[in-house]
């Protein structure tokens, strides 16, 4: 089932890319950037697969959520709509990083607590010699 889902996602990505290229044409596409993104994806995919296997979902969610928040808050603060800079932007970043660290710490503590509870719930196995 996973293979068929991955195949369908691949086909959808190919169709979307072809649709954009055919409708927009290749004007304005910086092919050096396209190659850089492809190379980055080739490097990042195995690392992401390894991290997903190693990190617990709760902790991984806190890490990824923090990265998404930090990058989007930067975009919002620098936008014409807000236009925040200087000391206020620094204060927002410090508060956001502190909140992210607290969420990550909470996730790690909750994961360790779950692991300890599961270990205590397992019956002890005695080995007869």
**Tens-digit pLDDT profile for residues 80-113:** 777 777 888 889 899 999 999 999 999 999 999 9
Rounded Cα distance between 16 and 20, Å, is: 6
| Distance, CA of 3 to CA of 5 (rounded, Å) | 5
Give the model confidence (pLDDT) of 91-100 as tens digits. Answer: 989 999 999 9
Entry pTM? 0.63
The pLDDT tens digits of the residues spanning 43-71 come to: 998 998 888 899 999 999 999 999 999 88
Report how far Cα 117 is from the mean position of its chain's Cα atoms.
28
Question: What b/e string do you get for 90-118 counting C-beta neighbours within 10 Å, with b at 16 or more?
Answer: eebeeeeeeebeebbeebeeebeeeeeee
C-alpha 63/C-alpha 59 separation (Å) is: 6
């Amino acid at each position: 089932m996973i293979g068929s889902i991955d195949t369908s996602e691949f086909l959808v990505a190919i169709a979307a890319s072809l649709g954009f290229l055919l409708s927009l044409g290749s004007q304005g596409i910086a092919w050096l950037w396209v190659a850089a993104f492809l190379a980055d994806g080739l490097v990042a995919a195995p690392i992401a697969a390894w991290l997903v296997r190693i990190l617990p979902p709760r902790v991984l969610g806190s890490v990824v959520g923090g990265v998404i928040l930090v990058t989007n808050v930067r975009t919002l603060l620098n936008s014409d709509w807000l236009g925040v800079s200087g000391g206020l932007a620094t204060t927002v970043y410090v508060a956001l990083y502190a909140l992210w660290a607290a969420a990550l710490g909470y996730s790690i503590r909750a994961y360790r607590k779950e692991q300890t509870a599961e270990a205590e719930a397992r019956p002890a196995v005695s080995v007869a010699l």
